[in-house]
Amino acid sequence: MKAFFDQVTYQEIIDFFNGKVPPLDTVIVSGRTSLWPSFADHLRKSLGAVSNWVSFNHNPTELKQAVVLGAMERHFRWRHLIVEEPGIIGDFTVLYEHSGPNDWRYHDFERSEESHQFYLGNSALVKIGIRTSNGFHQCFAFNPSDYYNNDKTLEIKLIFDRNGRLQAEVQNSRGRVQRFRVHTDVAILSYNDRPWPLGASKLLELDPKELMVR
């Protein structure tokens, strides 16, 4: 039971927000599982200070209906609004062997056109792709020894956009540049660019007591 609570009230949240929970102004708790003892307490610790906490006074019927009513509200109020599907959500990253075979290390790139230098003398393979909560999605890979000089270092630059277009530039200490390009068949968004729940649209502000009435 403790492992379950730790997973659903802490670890899943940390993974969803990529390691750091941002300030939240409203949390709506639905589902009758939330009635389990200490569930709300664990959730509050993970989310920090939240000014508007909607829990429907622990009414099991309202907890069960909340998601369905929300879906109906969205259909009638915002039926003409196009909500972009998130596709694969993660971070563009370089995956390399740090100290030897199978000692894989990630290096995430927060912004497009960032460059980082890597010592790759212990790495037989370098992979570039997207790091997600469900694992690593590889776009391409290369043997670093084909490119580096005696210093065994390479500077890697990633160029990407939210539509999944990814390029990489690999440059050695003598200025030799190798470019990789790929266009994935899925939409890719960073954790900080999630279109949730309705992109840039703003929900109508309601008092918690009015939420189930409308």
117 and 181 in one domain? Answer: yes
Task: Give per-residue burial for 130-157: e unless 16+ CB within 10 Å, then b.
Answer: bbbeeeebebeebebeebbeeebbbbbb
Assess whether 174 and 100 both reside in one domain.
yes
13 and 53 belong to one structural domain: yes
- Whole-structure pTM value: 0.54
What is the C-alpha separation between 101 and 178, in angstroms, rounded?
24
96 and 41 fall within a common domain: no
**118 lies in the same domain as 182:** yes
Say whether both 185 and 119 belong to one domain: yes
Which domain covers residue 69, as residue numbers?
Answer: 2-83+197-210
CATH number at residue 156: 2.60.34
DSSP string, 103-172: -EEEEE-SSTTEEEEEE-TT-S-EEEEEEETTEEEEEEEE-GGGT--TT-EEEEEEEE-TTSEEEEEEE-
Query: In degrees, to the nearest 5, what angle opens at C-alpha 93 toward C-alphas 167 and 173?
Result: 65
Task: Tell whether 51 and 113 lie within a shared domain.
Answer: no
Task: Give the number of domains in the chain.
Answer: 2
Pair (102, 186) in one structural domain:
yes
Report which of 94, 96, 98, 126 is spatially closest to residue 108, judged by C-alpha positions: 94
- pLDDT digits (tens), the chain, 214 positions: 778 888 888 888 888 887 888 888 888 888 878 888 888 888 889 998 888 888 777 777 888 888 888 888 777 777 776 655 556 678 889 999 999 888 999 999 988 999 999 999 999 999 998 888 778 888 889 999 999 999 999 999 999 876 677 899 999 999 999 998 865 555 566 656 554 444 344 455 666 666 555 4
Q: Are residues 68 and 18 in the same domain?
A: yes
95 with 163, same domain: the answer is yes
